[in-house]
Structure 1
């Protein structure tokens, strides 16, 4: 698969963890009145909300012409999940710091 064929998926996975996962996690912690969650709690909640959109990741038809992009989507999904768990997603970590500092 050429790089230009997966460009849009790459951009989506660059944004979804913090735009969807972290944003929803912040609101959840605010509504619960939890001002200082641990990093691990924040990462787990971010991942929980990100996983709610998994049906989108699996929405292409199970047809041959989609097989390569589906493999790439599965790879990126798992890679992003791991980055969130280990603290390697810098945008998620920035949002944690901002929430804890400014609530």
Structure 2
């Protein structure tokens, strides 16, 4: 698969973890009155919210025309999930720090 064929999916996976996952997580903790969650709690909740949009990741047809992009989506999804849990997603870590500093 050429880079230009996966460009939009790459951008989506660059943004979705923190725009959807961490944003909804911050609101959830704020509404629960939890001002200082652990970083592990924040990562787990972020992943929980990100997983809620999995139907979008599985929305392309399961046929030969979409086989390559579906494989790439599955690869990036797993990669992003691991980065969130391990603390390697810098945007999630930044959102966590901002939340515990400013709530």
Name the TM tier (shorter chain): over 0.9
Cα drift, residue 63 of structure 1: 1.1
TM-score normalised over the length of structure 2: 1.00
1:20 maps to what in 2?
20
The 5 A counterparts of 1:1-103 are 1-103=1-103
Q: Please list every run of 5 or more consecutive structure 2 residues that lacks an aligned counterpart in the other structure.
A: none
For 1:62 and 1:75, locate their aligned partners in 2 and report how far apart those are by CA, in whole Å.
16
For 2:51 and 2:44, locate their aligned partners in 1 and report how far apart those are by CA, in whole Å.
10
For 1:89 and 1:56, locate their aligned partners in 2 and report how far apart those are by CA, in whole Å.
21
Runs of 4+ in 1 over 2 A off after TM superposition: none
Cα drift, residue 91 of structure 1: 0.2
How many residues of Structure 1 are paired with residues of Structure 2 in the alignment?
103
What value does the CA root-mean-square deviation take over the aligned residues?
Answer: 0.2
For 1:71 and 1:39, locate their aligned partners in 2 and report how far apart those are by CA, in whole Å.
31
TM-score normalised over the length of structure 1: 1.00
For 1:51 and 1:30, locate their aligned partners in 2 and report how far apart those are by CA, in whole Å.
20
For 2:61 and 2:86, locate their aligned partners in 1 and report how far apart those are by CA, in whole Å.
32
